[in-house]
A and B are shown apart, each in its own frame.
Chain A
Amino acid sequence: MKLLDVANALSLEVKSFKDGLQKDVTGAYVSDLLSDVMANSKQGNIWITLQTHLNIVAVASMKGLAGIVIVNGRQVQEEVLKRAEEEKMPIMVTQMPAFEIAGKLYRLLA
């Protein structure tokens, strides 16, 4: 499934690198610990997190993730979105908490 289809189905607000929505999604990983994501996420995964600081872009890009979904409608600073644009990393925001978005995404990808 393409990231675009996921974003549409779950009404995600795409905040950076819209061109990246053509990426294929291989699954998802939910964690707010960055080392955990580095250790256990897989290439092409969507990363669901409440972290919004600059390092999430580097971690996601290092692991070749499809995109980052920020939960609870948290605001992402312009500086972070700019870096995400440079690193070609889609950042999407949902109003849902992690449990809910993960559940919906699981059903969508299963």
Chain B
Amino acid sequence: MTGTAAMTAPATPDRDTRAGLRRDARRERAFFLSLSLPALLLVGLCAMLPIFWILRQSVMTLRGEFTLANWEKLLSSALTWKSVWTTVELSGATLVLCMALGIPLALALASAPPKIANRLLILVMLPLWTSILVRTYGWLVLLRRDGLVNQALTGTGIASEPLALVYNFTGTLIGMVHFMLPLFVLPVYAAMRDIDGNAIRAAASMGASLPRTLATVVLPLSAGGIRSGAMIVFIYTLGFFITPAVLGGGQVSPVAIRIEKVMSTFQDWGQASALGVLLLILVAMAAAMLAAARRLIGRKGKTHA
């Protein structure tokens, strides 16, 4: 469309052509914008509105008057800060484990022949097709006191008595890493697969050892994928509820669990809303920090080059 418009525009005054082009470009932008309108509307209605409603509710009494009492109660309670800390701890530990397990896995996938890599990828994806509830209860069966893992450990004499693998932080972490690992591996694998093989060959031909090649070529070139993977893992896990609820046994209470508790035992919607907003702030802060880290690394990358 743009093409024809530009062609039929009078050839001479050059300025008119440019104005026409600009006009067309504007129209095109408006057209594309209108295409995204339904999605924007949906996000506005289903995501933004409820958030505003929660925000409003966090500063309201039951009778609908303005109050800061919910926030005062929340911010002055040691339980809140403990749950914020538990949330960050859980997400951070999940991220570290996902990186430690996921980067080598992605590397192996990326360096395998395409046919094998595809099959392995299906194995990585498989857990994503199972409901989180099923997977979480699956871990319960495996990790409990007379579960398979403990039976194997005590049967082979590695442990003299059953280990406390579930209904605590450890069990929650295992469940969360299991859930998030595929979501971390996929972007990292995509980034590693796109690395130009010549760059690796060049490094090798210049005598770089494998660890050195990894550190100076592969990892920097896949940093984008690792970053998006890390972003997904950290932010996604900040709001995790089912895994700590089932595998934490009441010993692990991140913000999401606190929200449920405040709602179910105190029927205190105002304070639960305030907690929800606090969680949102936490997510926003994490996103901002990751974005800042990205800019910082990006700048460092440029001075290198």
Q: Are both chains from one complex? A: no
